[in-house]
A and B are shown apart, each in its own frame.
Chain A
Amino acid sequence: MNAVLFTKELKRNRKNTLIWTAIVLAFTLMILSIYPSFSHMGEDMVKLMSSLPEEYAKAFGMDEATWSSIIGFYATYYGIYITLLMGIYTASTGATIIGKEERDGTAEFLLTRPISRGSVAGTKLAVLGALFIIVYLVQTLVAVIGMNLFGSEIAWEAMVAMHIHGFFLIAFFTAAGVLMGSFLSVKLNYMGPIVGMIFGSYFLNAIASASDAVDWLAYLSPYHYLPLTLDKGSLEPNLLACGVIAAITAMLVWIGYSRYLKRDIIG
């Protein structure tokens, strides 16, 4: 890893990271801040929501716990909004952090300095990892603060399990972004394929949850292996799935990294 490049890359991604972090935090606080108004409705809200089609409620992981505790409420929206937003940010950063130099024409400058390609790619991936962890930790911290502000007490076990699953899910999407960036043209706008991949994963799982006829679709989605919503008010970490997803994540990053080492730098 090259310290000079690491510092420069952090600086270069600062603005984009601040914008995305602000968006994620705004969503987190917005979700938590509206919980009290739902909870004050108490039984009426539970009755109202029970009138929703069962398939719809299943698809989005809504059950009684969604309305009766802040962790249930947060879990529903953590899956829908937070992991999607964070996944889009880190996957798009992963797709562009290496290729951006080629797209902007600065790869020629960088790769004719006395830094190996392995060091360039490794440093940029380290920056990506650092940005991911910073955003992830800040969001978790703000979620905990928000729950304390707007809820009564935090179900720590479910909260920890949810955020562990969220961590590995987002890491997986990030690695998929890195892989995408190493194989596709640097001139491509990656946002479309990335949003498609993440939303597609989410909705595959949602559709499979809603209908037994297509429940096999769930196997195609990482959300199935790393659930974010509560089951009867609780959630336990699936450590086996975390390990398998982590291994796949590492493999995707390695393939992307290896591909970058051999890629022709055209412009």
Chain B
Amino acid sequence: MVLLPLPEGAEKMTIFPDVDALMREEVCSKFNGMWVQCVVFWKGIQPTSAMNIIETQSLSKFYGKERGITDVTISVKQGEIFGFIGPNGAGKSTTIRTLLGLLAPSSGEAKLFGQSILENGHELRRRIGYLPSEVDYYAEMTSRELLEYHANIYGLENAGEKIRELAHYFELDLDRPIADLSFGNKKKCAIIQSVVHEPELLILDEPTSGLDPLMQNRFFELLESRNAKGATIFFSSHILSEIQRLCDSAAIIRGGEITAVEDITTLLAKQMKKVRLVLESDAKVELPEGAQNQEWLGNKVLFDYVGPTKDLLQWLGRQEVVDLTLSEPDLESIFMNYYRR
């Protein structure tokens, strides 16, 4: 995100999402120097001037002798949607809990907004919204009571209206006891508590688990809208497609260590696709460059593909294809293929 310098008296903000570099220049030249603030988003390019909202330096956490995370170094800039991806047990939640001050680091340091959470946690948490992967709330409360309790702790005034709006948006019945809610509905309640105080930083740990596709989509729209207003988002997931959809860049964690920090474009280029083809004839054809692990069964072929999607599509165009399935490999396959140590 780039904020152009504003002339005196500026008071209006216009948002231009996802413009390419050419259009970005055009938009900027059009508005630069005028009374409109131009906020431009584009993927794959990191702002250089924005401050680090999250910064860890050689952060390690051990539970006794058991490994939690080792030497985790990441930085997330203001306004960025940062993906944090790894298989279950990789250390995602440990990293988040250490960032939030729930766990004390064994070594290294973690800073939010340039300050240590262990020293200034009270004030820093006011600026953070946290969505946990497992939702354990006070079973005896209703969602409304929980969200009002949350709002009271934050000292929010007139939170009732915001809570009602968000509950309506996510179709959550506020008056049912939390104990009676399904996991998906508990998750909706958790989403609302994470955003209702309009935090500058959202830390989301496996946020979509339990949500149906419709609600996932609404949630993503909400995140995009909050990000457009300037919120920084730390998005932990083991689902690559979620990271692809939302994030500007991502860190990959495996076995408690950061394996790679990539912008999404690079990650996409390295991503393997599973291709399942049904051809018109049994004759074996030469597969495109980048195909591996091929398995032929009559006129059907299954293979993994790594390479430009454009090349794969061009190759497919030359084949007599009866049916085609392209699927995302599981995360472990990606790690095994591209991040083998």
Contact = CB atoms under 8 A, between A and B. Distances in A.
Interface in A96-134: 104-109, 111-117, 119
B122 A108 contact: no
Given A106-B137, A108-B136, A113 B153 contact: yes
Interface stretch (B98-106, B158-166, B226-234): B98-106
Which of B103, B126, B138 has the largest count of A CB atoms less than 10 A from its CB? B138
Interface stretch (A2-10, A136-144, A229-237): A2-10
B130 A112 contact: yes
A262 B138 contact: no
A116 B119 CA distance: 10
A173 B193 CA distance: 38
Contact of A115 (B63, B102, B136, B153): B153
Contact of B122 (A4, A115, A266): A115
B132 interface: yes
Nearest to B131: A112
B121 interface: yes
B122 A112 contact: no
Contacts of A266: 63, 103
B149 A112 contact: no
Given A5-B153, A8-B149, A106 B104 contact: no
A264 B64 CA distance: 12
A4 B102 contact: no
B286 interface: no
A112 B128 contact: yes
Interface in B81-134: 97, 100-104, 121-123, 125-126, 128, 130, 132, 134
B104 A105 contact: no
A8 B145 CA distance: 11
Nearest to A5: B153
Interface residues of A, number: 23
Contacts of B265: none
Contact of A265 (B102, B149, B193): B102
Given A112-B125, A114-B125, A106 B136 contact: yes
Interface in A1-53: 2, 4-5, 8, 12
Contact of A108 (B102, B104, B125, B126): B102
Contact of B102 (A12, A104, A112): A112
A109 B135 CA distance: 9
Given A4-B149, A8-B149, A265-B97, A109 B154 contact: no
Interface string A234-265: 00000000000000000000000000001011
Contacts of A115: 122, 125, 153
Contact of B153 (A2, A106, A107): A2
Nearest to B140: A12
B214 to A, nearest CB: 26
B150 interface: yes
A116 B123 CA distance: 9
B266 to A, nearest CB: 32
Contacts of B134: 105
A14 to B, nearest CB: 11
Contacts of B140: 12
B152 interface: yes
A265 B103 contact: yes
Contacts of A107: 102
A75 B97 CA distance: 52
Which of A4, A107, A109, A264 has the largest count of B CB atoms less than 10 A from its CB? A109
B123 A114 contact: yes
A114 B153 CA distance: 7
A104 B125 CA distance: 22
A19 B153 CA distance: 29
B136 A111 contact: no
A265 B101 CA distance: 9
A139 B138 CA distance: 31
Contacts of A104: 136, 138-139
Contact of A114 (B97, B126, B149, B193): B126
Given A2-B153, A8-B149, A264-B102, A114 B122 contact: yes
B154 A108 contact: no
B241 to A, nearest CB: 27
A106 B138 contact: yes
B270 to A, nearest CB: 34
Contacts of B104: 262, 264
Interface string B274-312: 000000000000000000000000000000000000000
Contacts of A262: 104
Interface string B177-221: 000000000000000010000000000000000000000000000
A5 B153 CA distance: 8
13 contacts: A12-B140, A105-B134, A106-B138, A108-B97, A111-B100, A111-B101, A113-B125, A113-B154, A114-B153, A116-B121, A117-B121, A119-B122, A265-B97
Interface of A: 2, 4-5, 8, 12, 104-109, 111-117, 119, 262, 264-266
Given A114-B122, A119-B122, 13 more contacts: A4-B152, A12-B140, A105-B134, A106-B137, A106-B138, A107-B102, A112-B125, A114-B123, A114-B125, A114-B154, A264-B63, A264-B103, A266-B63
Query: Which 6 pairs, one residue from A and one from B, show the smallest C-beta to C-beta distance?
Result: A105-B136, A114-B126, A265-B102, A116-B122, A112-B130, A4-B152
